[in-house]
Amino acid sequence: MAIRLRGLSKSFGQVEAVAGVDLEIGDGEFFSMLGPSGSGKTTVLRMIAGFEAPTAGTVELAGQDVTRLAPFERDVNTVFQDYALFPHMSVEQNVAYGLKIRRVPKAERAERAREALASVQLADFGKRRPAQLSGGQRQRVALARALVNRPKVLLLDEPLGALDLKLREQMQVELKALQREVGITFVFVTHDQVEALTMSDRIAVFNRGRIEQVGTPAEVYERPATPFVAGFVGTSNLLTDEGGTYSIRPEKIRLLDEEAPAGTGDDLRTVTGTVAEVVYRGDSTRFLVALDEGGRLTALQQNHETSSEEVAAYRGTRIRLQWHRRHNVIVTTPESPEAPEAPETESTCV
C-alpha cells in the first residue's frame, strides 16, 4: 500500500476544506482525485506532501505514519500547478536541486539530471532559464525535477491545467506512458473528468471535502454512485419515474424521427419530445430535447453522415428518443430520503 489516509480532515478557520477522507492507494497505481474547485482534492494532496498539517486523521506512506513529518522528510515529490521552477537557476540546476540536497556526487548528479531531461524530451534545454521555456516545456522540467529523485509517490497538482488543449492531450498520453515505464505511484489532482477518465487506474470523486465514489474510470462513468458523480463525470441526464431517479448518458440515446419505425420491447425505453437546441461539435452533435412528459434530455450523435447545415435543421422538430434500459443508472430510489441533486455542469462533455 503506497498511501493510506484515515479520517483525514482539514479546516481553515471556519471553513472545512476536507471532512474525513479515508483512502487507500496501491503501489504503482495511477490514481486521480477528481472534483470541482474547492472540493478539497488539492488540500488532500498538500497534506500527503506535507505542506498542510491535517486538523484530524493520519497520513501513511508505505505503511509508515508521516502525519507529523515535514515535506523534506517524506519520500514523495510534487509537480506543482504552476510548476514552481526556481527562476534564478538553469533548467539543469532545477532538475539537479533535489539530488544536490541529498548529496549525490556531482558526476552522478549531472548524469541523472541529463537522463531525466532526456526522458521528457528536453535534452538540449539544460542551460536555459525557466523563463526561456514555453508552458509545455516548463511542465516537463517540473516533471523531470520531481522524477529524478525516484520518489515512491509522485503527486501532481493539476499539472496540465495551464496548457492548451492539444498539448494537454499529448501530455496525458505521455504522462501515462511515463508512469507505466517508471512504475511509480502517481496521485493526480484534476477537475477535468476526461483527463481523469483517460489516464487513471482508479478515480476518487471529491465533493465538498468528502469522497463521493472511488472506482475505475468505467465504474465511475457507467455506474455513478451518487447524483453528484453522475453529473460531474460526464454529462448526466437525470430522469425520474416510478422506478426512482436514474441517469442516462447522452451517447446511449438513439434519435429517431417521429414517424420512423421504432424498436419495441421491454428492454427499450422510448420517449418523445421537441428538439430545443442543437450544438454542432464537429465530430458529433448534441441535441437538447424537451420531453413531452416534462424535463430535458441531452442526446449525443456521431456525425457519421450529417453536416452542420443538416443538424441545424433539426431545431424545433418533433423527435423520438430510445435507449436500452440496462444503461439506466439508478442514483436514487423512491425510498431514498435524499432528493436528487443535479450539479450544474456544462463543462467538458464525454
Partner 1 sequence: MNDTFGRRIAGMLHRRPRLRLSLLLSAPLLWLVLAYLGSLAALFLSAFWTTDPFTSDVVKSWSPDNFRTLLTTSVYRDVALRSLAVAVAVTVIDAVIAFPIAFYTARVASPRYRHLLVVAILTPLWASYLVKAYAWRIMLSEGGPLDWLLKPLGLHGPGYGLPAVIMVLAYLWLPYMILPIHAGLEQLPANLLDASADLGARTWRTFRSVVLPMVFPSIAAGSVFTFSLSLGDYIAVQIVGGKTQLIGNLVYSNITLDLPLAAALGTVPVAIIVLYLLAVRRSGALAAI
* Residue ranges binding partner 1 (CB under 8 A): 49-51, 70-72, 76-78, 80-82, 84-88, 97-98, 101-102, 145-146, 149
Task: Quickly count: other Cβ atoms within 10 Å of residue 155's Cβ.
Answer: 26
The torsion of the CA quartet 197, 227, 42, 184, rounded to 10 degrees, works out to -30
Nearer to partner 1, 86 or 127 (CB): 86
Cβ-based nearer residue to partner 1, 88 or 326? 88
Which cell numbers hold the place of 286?
Answer: 448534441
Asked if residues 21 and 40 have their Cβ atoms less than 8 Å apart, the reply is yes
Report the nearest approach of partner 1 to the CB of residue 161 (Å): 14
- Residue whose CB is less far from partner 1, 71 or 295: 71
CB of residue 141 to partner 1, shortest distance in Å = 12
Distance (Å, rounded) from C-alpha 136 to C-alpha 167?
Answer: 7
Select 78 or 200, whichever has its Cβ closest to partner 1.
78
- Backbone Cα Rg of the chain: 24
Q: Minimum Å distance from CB 98 to partner 1? A: 4
Quick one: which of 95, 129, 142 has its CA closest to 115? 95
- Min. distance of Cβ 69 from partner 1 in angstroms? 11
Report the DSSP beta bridge partners of residue 186. Answer: 30, 154
User: Rounded to 5, what percent of the chain is helix, strand, coil?
Assistant: 30, 35, 40
CA gap 327, 210 in Å, rounded: 27
Smallest distance from the beta carbon of 133 to partner 1, in angstroms?
Answer: 16
To the nearest whole angstrom, how small is the minimum distance from the Cβ of residue 100 to partner 1?
A: 8
Q: Kindly state the smallest distance separating residue 280's Cβ from partner 1, in Å.
A: 41
By beta-carbon proximity to partner 1, the closer residue of 145 and 168 is 145
CB-count burial class (<10 Å; 0-12, 13-18, 19+) for 19: middle
Provide, rounded to whole angstroms, the least separation between the CB of residue 94 and partner 1: 9
The residues near 126 (Cβ < 8 Å, ≥ 6 apart) are: 90, 91, 92, 95, 113, 114, 117
**Nearer to partner 1 by C-beta: 70 or 330?**
70
| Minimum CB distance to partner 1 smaller for 14 or for 264 | 14
CA-nearest of 80, 55, 77, 53 to 67 is: 53
Rank residues 88 and 166 by Cβ distance to partner 1 and give the closer one.
Answer: 88
